[in-house]
Structures are given as structure tokens and as C-alpha cells.
Chain A
């Protein structure tokens, strides 16, 4: 544990800061979720946009559990803001898988980091997953918030086959985002001496 691989205060500070950035960008992109059909494309778009952020984070902190902690904090904030526990449990499972993939590449290999980010990106699907798993409760929550129509169109769109497509979209978006992130890393951040 103590061979320079455990998380130091510096890494924890980086985790905190990247959580803020990730959350702010996620919230900005989340505005498109107001229109029901785009809700299903949201994970893919999020992957493309946030790819750079998370890839830079993974390049900066190449240590165990860094991605796991970053990934847990965001669902925790969402949970505190009125989402169901499904999102949190789903998040923990997804983050554990992403962490294992990263471990397989010894936290350095780009290929492993890319797939790890693709898996990491699927955590947002949890907000749609909770619709399937606790349908009644979520609809009860959504109706006063977004109105009857929104809830109905959401209910029609979210089925198990569609969910598979959403997960696929999230993974594809994650891979595209990771590639964009790699280009940016080479183009800007390596030059500025940040990585």
C-alpha cells in the first residue's frame, strides 16, 4: 500500500475539484433532458462532452480508488437532491467495474482507461434504470415535477430493449469522448505541462 500508490492529500484535492467540474458540466448538458426523446441520448452526449475531463483526471491521478471516489460523489449529490437509492447502488456497481478495468491496465494504459471511462459513463443510465426498477415511486415523483405528459412519454420510451440501446450509446459516447480527450491531452495539456 505504501509504495507511492496510496491516495495522498494532493490526489484527494484533485478528486474534489474534478467532481465540481464534472457535476457542473453534467448539469449543463442535463438541460437537454427536458425534452423526453433527448433524455435517451443524454448518456452518449455526456460521454462525448465529459471525456476530456475524466481522461485528464485519470492521467493526473494514476492510483487505485481515485476514479471510484470521484464516481461515487456525483450520485451521492444526486441522491441528496431527491433521487432514489437505485441510482446510488447502480453507481457503486458501475464504478467497481470501471475501477477493476483500470486496475487491469495498471492505471496507465490508454486502452484500459478508455474502456474504464466507457463503463464509468453508464452510471447516468441509473437514473433511467430507477424508472424500470421502482417505476411507481419514480412516476409519483415525476408527475408533480414535470407534469403528466412528460411522465407518460417517459414511461412509453423506457423499456428493457430501449435501455440496452441507451447503455450501448453510453459506451460508444464514452469511447468517442475518451478519444477526443486523448487528442486534447496531446494538443494542449501535455504542452502546458499539466499532465
Chain B
């Protein structure tokens, strides 16, 4: 009982904290405490919901979100596939690990010229997103595939399970929580990849909107674009946290 009321109290305090933050945003904006470049929250929300801006935002959101989804999907599939390949064909594992560490050591920015040469400009955002997501998922899956205990593995072998059965029935389910955690952490990475990719000269998207609004002093537009990106990233992150909790409940 006390634990529950304690949790409730913490939840309420957290809500109050978030409320205070939003209130401060509004007050700073209304009284111009941070200068002209900090608009009140209500102005930003009004700007986003303004019907005359719908086509502008609609086009940018479609472009950015399709880059995020494509990059995320490709990264997840490639990450899981390569981690499984490294597991099944053990000879390849050291080289794969090394290659992926090398790729990860290169800052995403530094890969941009390569993408600009190799892919067309609008393919850069999903590619950069995919690369970042891929790294996250590969690492999560590799560590997840080691999660099944040696005892469990021995039981499967002793009862005559083939390596394939053992993989499908034991190692893969045991890896699922780690994979889902990786998928959760990969969500902000996918957004960063898509936005940064757009900064290198895509022809449309929220990232492009941000940069042009920044350079042209379109303050409400700038804050709206940033708010849309961060809020969507947070919402999806929250959704994945729920999925994560369900997975942990079911598989651990």
C-alpha cells in the first residue's frame, strides 16, 4: 500500500515537473525573457495547427517520416540479420564485429560526402538513419543471443534438439528483450540520422525546414519544426518502452 502511494506521489510530482517546464516555456516567451527568438508555447502550437500551414508541414513531415521509417526498417532488419549470421557462421563473427566497430567510429557527419557521391541527395537521410539504427540493433542482438544460459542450451542438446530448433526455440526468444531494448534506443538515432541527412542538402523535409527557418529568422516555423521532430521521437520512444515492458514480462 505504501509502495503504491509512493509511486503515485512520484508520478504526480513528475507531472507537476513537466507542467512547470511547459509553464516556464510559456512565461519566458510571453515576457520575452530570452529575447525575440523564444516564442511562447501557445504561439508555436497555434502555428503548427494553423490550417494555412498544413501543406507546408504535411509535405515536410511526409518526407522526413518516410526517411525515418525506411532507415529504421532497413537498419533493424540488417542489424538482426547480420548478428544472426555472425551467430550461425562463427568464423565470420570477429571480422563482422571489427567492421561494425570501424564503421561506428566514423562520425555520421564524416560519412556524408560518401553518401552524397554514392546515393542521390534524397537517399542520404534514410541511409544515415539506417546506419545508426543498424549499429544499435547489431550490438543489442549480439548481446541478446548470448542471454540463454549454458544450462538451458545443454538441456536442449541433451534432449536431441537440432541446432536450428535450439536457435528458434531457445536463443531467439531469449534474445528478444535485448532486441526490443535496442529497437527502443534506436528510435532517437533514426530521427537524428534523417534530420542530419537532410542538412546535407535534401530537397525537402523537417530538417531542411529547420535550417531555412533558422537562417531566415522564421522563429515560429523553426520552433514548430523542432517540436514536431522531438515530440514524435519521444512519442515513439514511449510506445517502444511499453512494448519493451510487455516483452520483458513475457520472455523473462
Chains A and B come from one and the same complex: no
